[in-house]
Structures are given as structure tokens and as C-alpha cells.
Amino acid sequence: MKHLTNKDLRELLSPKIFHLIGETADELGMECYVVGGYVRDLFLERPSKDIDVVVVGSGIKIAEAFAQRLGKGAHLAVYRNFGTAQVHWHGQEVEFVGARRESYDRGSRKPVVEDGTLEDDQNRRDFTINAMAVCLNADRYGELVDPFGGVRDMEDRIIATPLDPDITFSDDPLRMMRCVRFASQLNFVIEDETFEALQRNAERLHIISQERIIDELNKIMSVPYPSRGLMELYRAGLLEIILPELTALDIVETRGGRAHKNNFYHTLEVLDNVCKAQLEAGTDHAPKALYLRWGALLHDIGKPRSKKWEPQAGWTFHNHNFLGAKMVKGIFRRLKLPMDERMKYVKMLVELHMRPQAIADEEVTDSAVRRLIFEAGDDIDDLMTLCEADITSKNEQKKQGFLDNFRLVRHKLADLQERDYRRLLQPVIDGNEIMQLFDLKPSREVGTLKDTLKNAVLDNVVANEREPLMQLLMNKARQMGLTAVQGTAKICTALLLMVATLTSCGSDHNDWSKARRHDEAQAQEQLNQARNLMEMDSTQAARRVIKKLRRDYPLALSARRQSILLMDSIDIKEAVHNGDNERLRFYTRKLKHDKLTRQDTTAL
């Protein structure tokens, strides 16, 4: 914090915009002050672009005069219902409001507003550090008005209310969330009397809309280390109102001298570990950074429902990741969090957060890592960050063992991605096949044909698939005066015909039949892949493969019929896995109705 005199404040408020505001107020004969967060951040040396101005009089009237003084570049927005106005000028936003006093009805957070003095306006402010004002009138320019000791509280790093905190929080319960948020953002301590008022008024949070609550909660989640803010919410009784699924983790049971860890405090530690990793990697402002933190916060919420005591194993939480993933959608909907890809991203993190550990516990095989890449997709690195953050063991040797295993998984991931990427860019027709097609020995012609295919793939001119590359190869060969040998010429002709058929399935029955056979063959490969994924209990991945099959191969009628049965079998497998008897009976009846063969039912 910087200690500022009135002279210092005059220098900090030297930019032209402040003098223009003061001159406009003087012409209208109004007292005018810059207030709130802008003044606070001057002392705390924090950047602040938005300027709040209070005038003793009409805020709208001075805003209109100020916008007129600025001229063409100013944009005025007036909100008469609220008695406020905003002026945008050269990337800065100034909000004007008349000084007012407020009174509240207990059943609402909407105040009854009356005109007031600067003192009335400062009395209604939420915290002492936000109740300071600096005069902009010429005769008192830069004079600090601090009736509640906001500067002293900043020196002591304290969050306190200007008046009775019970009245402050009861009038507007959202201020309780703001209290914790400011303490988290500024690393301040909530003053004892103020904190006790938080506890007494916690139930008042029920009258606040979820949209406003989640806005404050996301700001707490976005600070460098959110656990402190979440802990304050918990101690105040607010977190149980907002997210009871999280507070349900604060329990430790002991049986036969064996206890499980406290998963609430474990979750807060995991969250801070994720934040630390983001800060070190410089990804704390990445598009999904906030939702990776949400993934950490929710990763163990399925544990209370899955907890069981087994005499041999002790306390177990089998399938807590799957149960937790199912809870994510309902939590997001209730909290008014986005129900789009961000929700699916968090759900994926919760569902898969045990998978890398399972891989690390066994031999790290290429196939296991590939399945992980397939299911996590582009978010594989975020998943690994969460898994590494999930290691909170106090046994340093055990912790190091886990980290070493995860390092091996990361190495395998990088190696596989590089190899698979190279393979994707390596044309499917190689030099040996070119030499066989045209009966050539290693030569410049072979190199030219290889370069043609390679450049076409790298430049994304054609897909790295056999048919389009064969067509490109034959065209280039003709330009070079090369002819395929007799046996291979027929193969090339057939491939080129297939390309033509796939690009334009006309009315000719033969062409349609070839296209259908092509779709059927490709779709059967996809079906086999889906069956393999099922056998490995990767049901969600199998679903995605089947959906892709149905989208990409419309002519594969037989395979599409089989995919319906396979999708039903996935539903049965999940129903058995989750003990969902009602769902199991439904799909059993459906399969009987479909008259499956003995072979089909055996496969299930």
C-alpha cells in the first residue's frame, strides 16, 4: 500500500478527464467526487479503468453536460430508472450518480432511494475501503474524504463495514459474497465483528439471484489461490447454501481403527495445486482456466454417495468419478453456470480424473494411453494437470512415486502424439508402392511423385486417404509420361471409379452399389472399434464412435442397423454397472422385442 497525501492525489488525478469532470461540476454548481474502487486502488497501486463519480445533485444532468463538453468521441448512456448515466470516452468509462441514501425492505434487496448528501452516500457503501472519496471541484481538488478510516483499514489489511455490519448485510445480502471476494482478492482479513455478522445473516443469501451469486463466486475462484475464500464462505455458513455437495465432503469416519481422509480439505488443496500449476505455466488466464478450477473443485463430489466399508480393503470410493460426473450437469444448472461445452469439459475432467492414475499404476502401454487421448481429446494436458494436483499424500516417498509415474505417462503421451502426428502426415502411398505401380527403380521420378503426395498432404490440398492420393498420383504420373504396369492399372482404375462414385452418387445403380459397399466396409471397421472400446469399459468413447458412424456413412444400412443394437447393449452395460434395475428392465424388453439372435445376446 502507498501512503498518499492530498498533493499526491492531485498528481494522480492529473489526467485531463478528471479536470474536465471537475470543470463541468463547477459550471453547474455541484459538489463532485471520485469514489469507491478507483480511490481504493490508487492507494493499493492496482490498475483500475472504470471511474465512479458521485455528485450532490443530478448525476444524469452532469453526465449530459460532460459528454457535450467532450464532443464527438463521447458516448452517453442514460439509465433514468436508476438515476445513473455512463460516458465512454477513449476507452475509459465514467459512471455518474447523484448522492443518495437508501432504505431496504427485509424481503428484498431493492432499496428505496432518496436524494442525499455525500455523507449519506458514503454511509450506504459496503466497506470502509470502498467508502473513500476524493473531491474534483477546483477549490478542493484532490482532497480526501475518509469518514470511516478506510486508509487505516487498508494499512491494517482489514475488511470492515462503515456502519453496523448486520444492517449492511441484511439490507443487501450480496455484500456477504463481496466481503469474502475482497478479502480473497486483496489478501485482507475480515474484521471479527464483520465476520460474526456474516454468520448471523447467512440465510439472507437465499433472496439473492443465482446469477449474482455465481458472478461473485467465479471472482473468488479466479484469484491466485481460491481455497482461502472458499474456506471463509464455509466458516460463515454461506458455502453450504451455495454448494452443499462440496461441504458434504467435510467428514471423516473411523472404523476398526481405519479412517479415510477429509475430502473437503483435500479438494481445497487440489484446487490450489491446480492454480499453482496454472500460474507457473502462465495459463491462469487461458479460456478454460476457470473451468479447470471448477473441475478440481468438483472432482470428488461423488465420494459421499460411493463410500463403503469393506473389511479387507477398508474405506472405498469405487466409481466416485462416474457418480460425480453425473452430478455436474445438475450443479451447473442450479448455479446458473454455462450449460455448453464448458459444462461438458468439467464433466469430462471429473469422469476421467482417475484414469491416468490407473494407467500409471500398471504398465504404461501405447494402447492405454491412446484410449486416454481419444477420450480426453484436446484437453488431455488439463486432465493431467488435475491428476497431478490430486496427489496430496503427506508421505513424500509415495507422493514422489506417483509423480514419477505421471511423468512417465506424460512422456508417453508426448511420444505417441508426435508419432501419431507424423503418421497422419506421412502419405498412405509410399515410395515402394510407387515403384511397384510404375515398375520404377529408385530415381528422380519416384522422388518427384513422393514430393507431390507429401506436399499435397502437408498443404491440406487433399485428405491423407488412399483414393484421393491415388487420383493425384495418376494425374501427376500422366503429366510425367509414366504409365502404370498392366496389373496395377486395373486397381488404379477401380480406385478412381470409387472416388468418382463417392463424390457424386448419381442415378446409376452400379455406382450406387459401389458407394454402398464402400460405406458398409468403413462402417464395419467403426463398429469393430466400438465393440473393442466396450470390452475395455470405455462406453462413452464407444458412443462417440457409433454417432460418427451414423453421421459419416449414410449408405451403410446393415452397419447402421447393427449400431442400434450395439447402442442398446451399451445402455445395458451401463445400467448393470450402475445398478439401475429400471433402466435394465426397459432395455431387456426392448431387445426381446427386437428379436435378437442368440449370437447377438451372447455378445451382450
Q: 360 vs 156, 347, 364, 395, 401, CA distance in Å?
A: 48, 22, 6, 18, 10
The superfamily CATH assigns to domain 6-156 is Beta Polymerase, domain 2 (3.30.460.10)
Residue 50, Cβ neighbours under 10 Å: how many? 12
The residues that bridge with 451 in the sheet, in sequence order, are none
pLDDT, average across residues 253-266: 89
- Per-residue pLDDT of 152-168, as tens digits, reads 999 999 999 999 999 99
Q: How far apart are CA 115 and CA 294, in angstroms?
A: 43
- Beta strands 258-259; 100-104: pairing state: unpaired
* Integer Cα distance of 545 and 527 in angstroms: 8
By CB atoms closer than 10 A (0-12, 13-18, 19+), residue 431 is middle
Strand partners, 94: 51, 87
Residue 85, strand partner residues: 78, 96
Q: How many residues does the chain have?
A: 604
Instruction: Give the three cell numbers for residue 356.
Output: 491416468
Cell readout for 530 is 466400438
The pLDDT assigned to 509 comes to 45
Comparing 149 with 368, the larger pLDDT belongs to 149
pLDDT at 507: 41
Q: Is-contact 22 52, C-beta < 8 A?
A: no
pTM for the predicted model, two decimal places: 0.70
pLDDT digits (tens, 9 = 90+) for 504-554: 444 444 555 666 677 788 888 888 888 888 877 788 888 888 888 777 776
Q: Which of 56-70, 235-249, 395-409, 580-594 has the lowest mean pLDDT?
A: 580-594
Cross-strand bridge partners of residue 315: 309
Report domain extents, the chain: 6-156, 282-422, 431-504, 524-603
Residue 592 scores a pLDDT above 60: no
pLDDT more than 70, % of the chain: 86
Mean pLDDT across the chain, nearest whole number? 85
The string of pLDDT tens digits covering residues 483-498 is 887 545 444 544 444 4
C-alpha cell belonging to residue 300: 470428488
Least confident of 39-48, 210-219, 361-370: 361-370
3-state SS string for 254-308: EECCEECCCHHHHHHHHHHHHHHHHHHHCCCCCCCHHHHHHHHHHCCCCHHHHCE
3-state secondary structure 498-520: HHHHHHCCCCCHHHHHHHHHHHH
CA–CA gap between residue 469 and residue 452 (Å, rounded):
10
How many Å apart are CA 19 and CA 49, to the nearest integer? 16
Beta strand pairing status for 100-104 and 111-115? antiparallel
For 81, the 3-state DSSP assignment is: coil
The owner of cell 475395455 is 536
Looking at 37-191, list the stretches that DSSP marks H as alpha helix, in order from N- to C-terminal side: 37-44, 59-70, 118-123, 150-155, 165-171, 174-186
Tell me the three state secondary structure of residue 127. Answer: coil
Going by pLDDT thresholds of 50, 70 and 90, the confidence category of residue 203 is very high
603 has pLDDT over 70: no
The string of pLDDT tens digits covering residues 330-356 is 999 999 999 999 999 999 999 999 887
β-bridge partners, 74: 89
